[in-house]
Amino acid sequence: MATKLDKVLKREIEIDGQSYIAAISPEGVKVTKKGFRKGNEISWKSIISGDANLNSDLSASVDAASTSE
């Protein structure tokens, strides 16, 4: 039996030598640079509906277009 997610869980992660805080809540997931308040956030509905993949593909497309100019 899984434990119900009813409050925010925060964990520190290190990516490329930088510390980040991953906050998992009933609303979604948020990753912020340690010591900052603003970060990237995505809702569970966006993840389940596939919007997360769409956003990732769009970002990759825009990045590829801007570097080829």
- Name the pTM for this structure: 0.69
In total, how many domains does the chain have? 1
3-state secondary structure the chain: CCCCCCCCEEEEEEECCEEEEEEECCCEEEEEECCCCCEEEEEHHHHHHCHHHHHHHHHHHHHHHHHCC
Q: Which domain holds residue 50?
A: 9-67
Residue at 35 is within a domain: yes
Residue at 17 is within a domain: yes
pLDDT tens digits along 24-64: 999 999 999 999 999 989 888 888 887 767 666 666 666 66
Residue at 4 is within a domain: no
